[in-house]
Chain A
Amino acid sequence: MSILGTRVMRVEDPKFLTTGGVYVDDLRDPRLDGAGHVTYVRSVMAHARVTVDGSAAAALDGVLAVVTRADLADLAPPPVPLGFIPPALGRPWLADGVVRYVGEPIAAIVTESRYAGEDVAELVSVDYEPLTAVVDPRVSATDETLLFPDHGSNTALAFEAGSLDGLFDGCDVVVTQQITNQRVAPVPLEVRGTACVWEGDGDDARLTLWASTQSPHGARDQIATALSLDPDRVHFIAPDVGGGFGAKFGVSVEDLLLAVLSRRLGRPMRWTETRTENMLGMGHGRAQLQTVTIGGSRDGRITAYSLDVLQDSGAYPHFGAVLPFMTQLMATGTYDIERIAVRTKSVVTNTAPVVAYRGAGRPEATAAIERAVDMFAAEIGLDPVEVRRRNLFAKEAFPLTTQVGAAYDSGDYAGALDKVVAAAKYDELRAEQQRRRDSGDTKLLGIGVSSYVEITAGPEAGTEFARINVKPDGSVVVYTGTSPHGQGHATSFAMLAADELGVPIERITVVHGDTDLVARGGGTGGSRSLQLGGAAVHQGALETVDRARELAGDLFEAAAGDVVLDKARGGFHVAGSPDDVRGWAEVAASADAEHGLIVDTDFTAQGATFPFGAHVAVVEVDAETGKVTLLSMTTVDDAGPVINPVVVEGQRHGGIAQGVAQALFEEVRYDEDGNPQSTNLADYAFPSAAELPDFTLVDMATPSPLNPLGVKGIGEAGTIGATPAVQNAVVDAVAHLGVRHVEMPTTAERVWRAIQDAREGAK
């Protein structure tokens, strides 16, 4: 029987449960003894000309250096994080005469002791000459104040699809709404941290750098490019990583600068940011202002949809500037809409850069259309589930290419919706809602539905590396170019190898995160790991078996084609002669007595995959205070066949919670001068267990034709489905009072005001 699909508890757990993981700040590598500690002096103004004087600080005992931009004049600027971002919008190593957001690094202090850094930072003198702070992206779009005069515009990128001409002609009903998909903070529990050391001299010097990242190979290449080094001279290690959620894809300038400081001062260096720095500087997610317009017939057929996106990219465009491309690609969602048009623009503002955050562009698309469909349903007086059913792409239509150019591989959207509606007992919920309304109960019930599809391991067809090494003792080491930080690859990938090799998972180790041990890799992000990295392990295992059959054939003096693998016994025999079995150990040793059998492989997918699902959220709204309590979440998240249900459920739970958190609690706010209002976890409403219910997961598995495992990504699905389901539920709870929309997060005050405004409007 195959191990795939069975509940295997994680093999990586024991150390986390007993001594804790080894995160960057936990490293006690002797090469880091005597490391200098780096502390960044960060801007307290959003937009200003700055002059820095670090001389008083530099003169103090225990201070090794105070470094400003002037000290780095010989360095070329760090490369822009993505190739198509205009270089004029790139960020400097340290603020270059102008600061563009609160938290931007101005100077780097290196001290002997860690505690001294914070004391010394207070003594670095920074003069600020304020400039007009551009905080609202709508103001930025006017180009009245330019953040980068050399660029000549505040617009970083723009995308569009479809034609607006006559888009809504012939519609009986057209509904439009402005929606804020608010800026949120990724908040991995482990903040950013880096440690590095140079070994060797001159041109032979080699850098070893540890950083908390999702993509060690990409980060190595970033460093090599920034420092004009051959990538072979950088050894990058991602130790245990305490969560990333997209925001730790690659490394930041603060990480890169450590390598420079270490080289110049001839010392190993360490940097661990504070939570406050993390909230100011790691980057934020989402941050879109959207305008949706939806039109169709009174009988519930949607025929036209337009989405306008103004993306706040923050001060220095990063992945955030590109989010609208993904939003555009997924704009039509699960709906077969005849005419669709998308216009997007990404602008810079005097706020922290916007980066990738769980879902990265797709949750924004889903939130937009799912609110739009609910508003359309409300306008024509039809049940939102029924409206969805009338417009979903039919199961028979796959594969298909949408109006905005996405090639959906497989799906059964109506099936997912039907399952979740049945599991949530939707009709009973509606009856209970009506009962409460009729009885004048102040605890109103809201039921919210979302139907979603997203794209994983895209938008281009991806590739990933794996090495399978069967040791001469018969144990197996799997090397993967993915870089898990909680996703359980050590277990799931071992299962994939075990399934093809017939080696028990107890004898399989998974290695990742070290660029000297793993030749190449794309890291973990965009829900790519299983469908690319897992598929590579699967492919590598098959190739290993093929190679082993040849080796066994030599041992048996038989043709490879006559040799079969008996997985149950973990060995090979000639077909028809099952008694003479040569085990993996013997076969591997015959390849190389010292290293065993090694097979390298690169898997290339035929295309991105499109996981989908449907969520039902139930909330209770206190009509007097506006307070929202989430009562239940029931979800179908179909990412194809499941390798390990334990891990997949965990991914769904976590994703759902983050989606809920955006809908109900979290928001990064700046005041009109660009001062951040939520710089710690006291102000930023990251929810605890006490704010959330249990989640009910419903299984569904529709295979993808695009990889041999049929799998799709599951890392972000929960987040994408949950946010609009919860927001829709909140609006639904108070819809009978005349409320049409409530912005996220749907705080008590927002709900209370929406009720007040609806009452005023009704007068």
Chain B
Amino acid sequence: MIPAPFDYVRADSYDAAAAALGEHGDEAKLLAGGQSLLPLMKLRLATPAVVVDVSRARDLAYVRDDGGVLAIGALTRHCDVARSADVTAHAPLLAHAAGSVGDPQVRHRGTVGGSVAHADPSADIPTALLALGASYVVRGPGGTREVSAADFSTGFLETVLAPDELLVEIRVPSARGEAWGYEKFTRRAIDWATVAVAVQKRGGETSVALANMGSTVLRAAATEAALASGAGAADAAAHADEGTEPAADVTASAEFRRHLARVLTKRALVAAGR
């Protein structure tokens, strides 16, 4: 299978990418690592008229300790995030999640920004970043804005990004020394999460994020509230699926996903010492 024909624009820097997006608008699709986009294009579920290849924009590939905030360039590959000493120190949950994406070959190509911008609700990276309270730096002709992870995805594969905007950086407040937990349930190792749960403690507060429990990654609000009121892990986890609308598919029914969300939340909380 091969993609439908498209026009190809190579953009080796942010500026070049911004110019290309400015010219082609919503006819264009950014190609970062391509590990989600290219399969969709081969199956012709995505048929962009213009592909803007940013895979070489190395000015967007970095990990920096920005004084209490971890700054990660959007085009940093999963394998580099998973092995980064800074990420392992300041956001071990993210390093772990990056090491759980797809398979080794996918992690060698796929980028964290690509994963965030693709906005698949079953993806590891946005789930971990949501629990970590990350924010996303978005830049376009109108300037630069910072969007919280909680506000970024607006629906299945949809985000607040305007057609001429790029996600350029991911900012993660340091969680150095804080406990975390990540529980991912799959049929096979290579599969997308049937359900995954990320837990990040920070000070006295605990954030819980859910993958594949709705059209976007979600916070388990009822569980977080129960924890805030002093509930134990088991009791709080019993609320994990409240307010969610998981889909049914060939992998699992909605009811089973709800059950998994509760079980995995309990386990992730226990792993994080709750």
Contact = CB atoms under 8 A, between A and B. Distances in A.
A594 to B, nearest CB: 50
A650 interface: no
A624 to B, nearest CB: 5
A748 B264 CA distance: 14
Interface in A706-763: 747-749, 752-753
A122 B256 CA distance: 38
B10 interface: no
B185 interface: yes
A87 interface: no
A680 B190 CA distance: 14
A625 B250 contact: no
A683 interface: yes
Contacts of A690: 188-190
Given A118-B1, A627-B185, A683 B259 contact: no
A749 B252 contact: yes
A2 interface: no
Given A119-B5, A749-B252, A752-B256, A688 B185 contact: no
B171 to A, nearest CB: 32
B253 A665 contact: no
A590 interface: no
A624 B261 CA distance: 11
B128 interface: no
Interface in B29-59: 39, 43-44
A389 interface: no
A625 B263 contact: yes
A618 B43 CA distance: 39
A677 interface: yes
A115 B189 contact: no
Nearest to A622: B263
A678 interface: yes
Contacts of A624: 263
Secondary structure of the B contact surface, majority rule: loop
Interface string B92-108: 00000000000000000
Given A749-B253, A749-B256, A691 B188 contact: yes
A685 interface: yes
Given A625-B260, A749-B253, A685 B188 contact: yes
Contacts of B4: 119
A626 B2 CA distance: 38
Nearest to B4: A119
Contacts of A276: 1, 43
Interface size band for A: 20 to 34
Contacts of B256: 748-749, 752-753
Interface in B3-45: 4-5, 39, 43-44
Secondary structure of the A contact surface, majority rule: loop
Contacts of A691: 188-189
A669 B185 contact: no
A749 B263 CA distance: 13
Nearest to B262: A624
Contact of B250 (A274, A677, A688, A753): A677
Interface in B175-208: 185, 187-191
A488 B1 CA distance: 32
Contacts of A274: 1
Interface string A91-121: 0000000000000000000000001001100
Nearest to B259: A752
Interface size band for B: 20 to 34
Interface in A180-204: none
A687 interface: yes
Find the residue from A274, A669, A685, A753 having the highest chain B CB count within 10 A. A685
A442 to B, nearest CB: 10
A682 B264 CA distance: 23
Contacts of A625: 185, 259-260, 263-264
Nearest first, the 5 A-B pairs at minimum CB distance are: A690-B189, A749-B256, A677-B250, A624-B263, A274-B1
Nearest to A680: B43
A680 B40 CA distance: 12
B263 A687 contact: no
Given A678-B250, A752-B259, A747 B187 contact: yes
Contacts of A683: 250
Interface in A576-608: none
A67 to B, nearest CB: 22
Contacts of A677: 250
Contacts of A749: 252-253, 256
A274 B39 CA distance: 13
7 contacts: A118-B44, A119-B4, A276-B1, A625-B185, A627-B185, A669-B250, A748-B256
Find the residue from A118, A678, A683, A748 having the highest chain B CB count within 10 A. A748
B74 to A, nearest CB: 25
A680 B189 CA distance: 16
A122 B39 CA distance: 18
Given A274-B1, A752-B259, A688 B187 contact: no
Nearest to B194: A748
Interface string B230-274: 000000000000000000001011001001100110000000000
A748 B259 CA distance: 11
Interface string A669-690: 1000000011010110101101
B137 to A, nearest CB: 32
B250 A665 contact: no
Interface in B47-96: none
A407 to B, nearest CB: 42
A665 B250 CA distance: 12
A274 B188 CA distance: 23
